[in-house]
Amino acid sequence: MPEKKWTKKIKAAFIQEQLETFFPETPIPLDHSDPYSLLIAVLLSAQCTDERVNKVTPHLFKKADNPFDMVRLSVPEIREIVLPCGLSENKSKAIHRLSEILIEKYNGEVPKTFEALEELPGVGHKTASVVMSQAFGVPAFPVDTHIHRLATRWKLTSGKNVVETERDLKKLFPEELWNKLHLQIIFYGRKFCPARAHDVEKCPICSAFGVK
């Protein structure tokens, strides 16, 4: 199909079809058992691979898989466990303090609104979006640097940051698909569309769009 016929709307439909073909199932990459453990795992995943987080969290959750047990640990104790995830000083402080806040304000439960989640230490919009979508089933489109990169590569957005990219993707794709699509795009990027050593010929979406 000539390049000029690839409108954003047609691209979105094609991408949706390809993602569903390759990744009909979208297991959540971060191991967790409830909203709290998902929240902690997503927080730890900042600038860290999901694989590494999944190696660290079993040790952390064995000691504390809920905010009441977590606050009994000191920040240095938490930091020693989460050290392999990087940014351990900030992450350990955030985990301890947000656990205190969950107890103080929410009876130990993870709140179910974007606003409340984003007020927690160490929890930005992307982390809140993951928790809202994957723990509570609320439509959200968490955009990390990988999704931002692919959306830009596919010219679905001219967004200069993840906020603008999120806005553009939400306009292009049906709301009922957001929660699944964000995982499908991450999986697709890992398998077919890496940042480096990208083989366009082996990337079904980029080769169709004529991406260089």
Which residues are catalytic, by number? 126, 144
> To the nearest 5 percent, what fractions of the chain are helix, strand and coil?
65, 0, 35
Q: What are phi and psi of 28, to 5 degrees?
A: -70, 125
Q: Cα(150)–Cα(103) distance, rounded to whole angstroms? A: 39
- Please count the other Cβ atoms lying within 10 Å of the Cβ belonging to residue 93: 15
Contacts of 101 (CB under 8 A, 6+ apart): 120, 121
Compute the Cα dihedral for 32, 34, 36, 39 and give only its sign. positive
Q: How far is CA 164 from CA 2, 85, 133, 149, in A?
A: 28, 28, 19, 12
CB 211 within 8 A of CB 200: yes
